[in-house]
Amino acid sequence: MLRKIHIISILILIITAASICSFAAEGEPFCLYNSEIVTSNENATYIQGEVADAKGQTIVVKNVRGVVAEKKVPDIGGKYVFRIKLPKSVIRKSKITSFAVNAIDANDEKVWTSCVRVEYKARKDQDIDLKEKEVELKFPGDDKAVEAASSAGLDLSYSSSDEDVVKVDEKGNIEPVGEGTAEVKVNQSNDPEYKDVTKSIKVSVKEVPHYTVRFHLGRNAADLAKDEEGNSEAAESSDDDTVIEQQIAVGDSAELQATADAKGDYEFLGWASSETGYPAYGNADEVTDLAGDGETVDLYAVWHGERAQEAVDWAIALAADNRYGYGQGTFKCNICGLMPKKQYTCMPFLAAAYAHGPRDPIMLAGGKHVINLNNKNFSGELGQIWEKVGLCKNLSIEDLEPGDVIIKWSDHNNSGHAWMYAGGDQIVEAVPAKSYANQIAVKSGAAAKLRRYGRSEGTPSKNYVMRYRY
Ligand SMILES: [Zn+2]
């Protein structure tokens, strides 16, 4: 008799519960987030909901046989979200099961009531179709793409048993990284409709004779050296040279892998074979036998603007050194030890800045660093490393880059002046001055001086701006 009453009360509960707990509205004292549960995992099926005013009530879950789970909410006097695990034994695989969910207060009185329907759906079988179960690769050598598909058409995931032998990315590309054998697992899991499945590929990697290319990205380049996951691969301190390595098999033709576009404001121009050299390779250039087995080749990124900035820095440092001053009558460089006094005229000072700042090989050759002010002298070898930006009359300060050389030429006496743009409104120059007998200095007024060169000083139709190419 007792049992019969119990069943009836649960049936009534189910009818009323549908209207109580079908949604979780704002301010509802007690509600369930999931009153209709479809589960394929009897080991992890949860009833979830919230109590608007938690004061130590007990949430009790019952089926027709009695209490199956319960949880006491804390006495916090506010919203409390609960999660109650249903025991595996109460989830029936062939039927929908209903549970009453009651909140009972400290006086054992039922304060709120709701219900849950749980439907169990077994997951279906699936398979992974694998084209090759064994793969042989060489290191260094090409990646190998796994050819695999889930019979259910679901996405696959990949993992390597030994990342010192092979790495595998999220698309299933296997990258050989060292000699040995490893397993690549192809996995499909956690789908609500299909059972988990795993297949594996045996990979063996044989090391072949190879050389190493070391790509030097220079200072402040740590951000550029990221792996596929976005982790920095190289230097941590921005002052360190950032280096990326690539191994290439002897006899193979391979693309250079390091790619660089820009470092801050500096645009990438190419890879040079020495620290001060000019670009010899572009990104992804195809190369063959740059070196022999076990050897290393160093390539250096050339960033347009970085070397010009080094010239500016050198010129500013020299301007701050009181031992140096302005001196006419020679084009020789006293850093190179060819002058009795520490003096520069205007253009040899700027040429020395490129010779001794970024150590440009053409500017450094011979220790003279001669550039004449007349622009036809930027031909030949100098034309390889300098380009004409334009005439001063057509340019404004926004058109200039630090390190640009601004040149005034007077036709009537075949003389002139040259100064270096140092960024902002700054000029660095070696110039004779009345109040300072010998002056190499940094000063402001670059914009105004550029305008005067375009309008009134020298021969305005000829005054021009030169820029270092690298
Ligand atoms: Zn010199």
Round to whole Å and give the CA distance between 369 and 363.
5
Q: What is the CATH number of domain 307-468?
A: 3.90.1720.10
Lowest mean pLDDT among 35-39, 42-46, 324-328: 324-328
Sequential DSSP letters for 292-360:
-TT-EEEEEEEEETHHHHHHHHHHHHHHT-TT-EE--S----TTTT--SSSEE-HHHHHHHHHHHSS--
Could you tell me the distance, in angstroms and rounded to a whole number, from the CA of residue 367 to the centre of ligand 1?
Answer: 5
Could you tell me the distance, in angstroms and rounded to a whole number, from the CA of residue 369 to the centre of ligand 1?
Answer: 7
Question: Taking residues 351-374, what's their average pLDDT?
Answer: 84
Lowest mean pLDDT among 13-27, 38-52, 69-83, 90-104: 13-27
Q: Is the pLDDT of residue 433 over 80?
A: no
Instruction: Output b/e per residue, 108-144; b: 16+ Cβ within 10 A.
Output: eeebbbbbbbbebeeeeebebeeeeeebebbbbbeeb
Q: What is the pLDDT of residues 182-237, one digit of tens each?
A: 999 999 998 888 999 999 999 999 999 999 999 999 988 877 776 545 555 554 55
Could you tell me the distance, in angstroms and rounded to a whole number, from the CA of residue 363 to the centre of ligand 1?
Answer: 8
Question: Taking residues 384-401, what's their average pLDDT?
Answer: 96
Could you tell me the distance, in angstroms and rounded to a whole number, from the CA of residue 359 to the centre of ligand 1?
Answer: 9
Could you tell me the distance, in angstroms and rounded to a whole number, from the CA of residue 399 to the centre of ligand 1?
Answer: 29
Backbone CA torsion sign across 137, 139, 141, 142? positive
Question: Taking residues 73-92, what's their average pLDDT?
Answer: 93
Round to whole Å and give the CA distance between 196 and 124.
9
Could you tell me the distance, in angstroms and rounded to a whole number, from the CA of residue 355 to the centre of ligand 1?
Answer: 6
Could you tell me the distance, in angstroms and rounded to a whole number, from the CA of residue 313 to the centre of ligand 1?
Answer: 16
Round to whole Å and give the CA distance between 45 and 163.
36
Could you tell me the distance, in angstroms and rounded to a whole number, from the CA of residue 301 to the centre of ligand 1?
Answer: 25
Could you tell me the distance, in angstroms and rounded to a whole number, from the CA of residue 351 to the centre of ligand 1?
Answer: 8
Whether a cis peptide bond, with omega within 30° of 0, leads into 140 is: yes
Could you tell me the distance, in angstroms and rounded to a whole number, from the CA of residue 370 to the centre of ligand 1?
Answer: 10
Round to whole Å and give the CA distance between 331 and 338.
10
Q: What is the pLDDT of residue 330?
A: 61
Q: What is the CATH number of domain 2-120?
A: 2.60.40.1930
Instruction: List the beta bridge partners of residue 430.
Output: 440
Q: Is the pLDDT of residue 260 over 60?
A: yes
**Which residues have CB under 8 Å from 332's CB, separation 6+?**
338, 339, 348, 367, 368
Round to whole Å and give the CA distance between 310 and 358.
6
Could you tell me the distance, in angstroms and rounded to a whole number, from the CA of residue 356 to the centre of ligand 1?
Answer: 6
CA-based nearest residue to 216, from 178, 175, 258: 258
Q: What is the pLDDT of residues 100-156, one digit of tens each?
A: 999 998 888 888 889 999 999 888 999 999 999 999 999 999 999 999 999 999 999
CA-based nearest residue to 149, from 186, 123, 203: 186
Could you tell me the distance, in angstroms and rounded to a whole number, from the CA of residue 365 to the centre of ligand 1?
Answer: 9
Could you tell me the distance, in angstroms and rounded to a whole number, from the CA of residue 334 to the centre of ligand 1?
Answer: 6
Cα 289 to the center of its chain, rounded Å: 30
Could you tell me the distance, in angstroms and rounded to a whole number, from the CA of residue 340 to the centre of ligand 1?
Answer: 13
Task: Please state the pTM of the whole predicted model.
Answer: 0.69
Could you tell me the distance, in angstroms and rounded to a whole number, from the CA of residue 348 to the centre of ligand 1?
Answer: 9
Q: What is the pLDDT of residue 188?
A: 96
Q: How confident is residue 436, by pLDDT bands cut at 50, 70 and 90? A: low
Could you tell me the distance, in angstroms and rounded to a whole number, from the CA of residue 459 to the centre of ligand 1?
Answer: 30
Q: What is the CATH number of domain 128-207?
A: 2.60.40.1080
Question: Taking residues 390-395, what's their average pLDDT?
Answer: 96
Could you tell me the distance, in angstroms and rounded to a whole number, from the CA of residue 446 to the centre of ligand 1?
Answer: 26
Tokens matching residue 273: 């074979």
Do residues 313 and 233 make contact, with C-beta atoms less than 8 angstroms apart?
no
Could you tell me the distance, in angstroms and rounded to a whole number, from the CA of residue 366 to the centre of ligand 1?
Answer: 8
**Which residues have CB under 8 Å from 398's CB, separation 6+?**
none
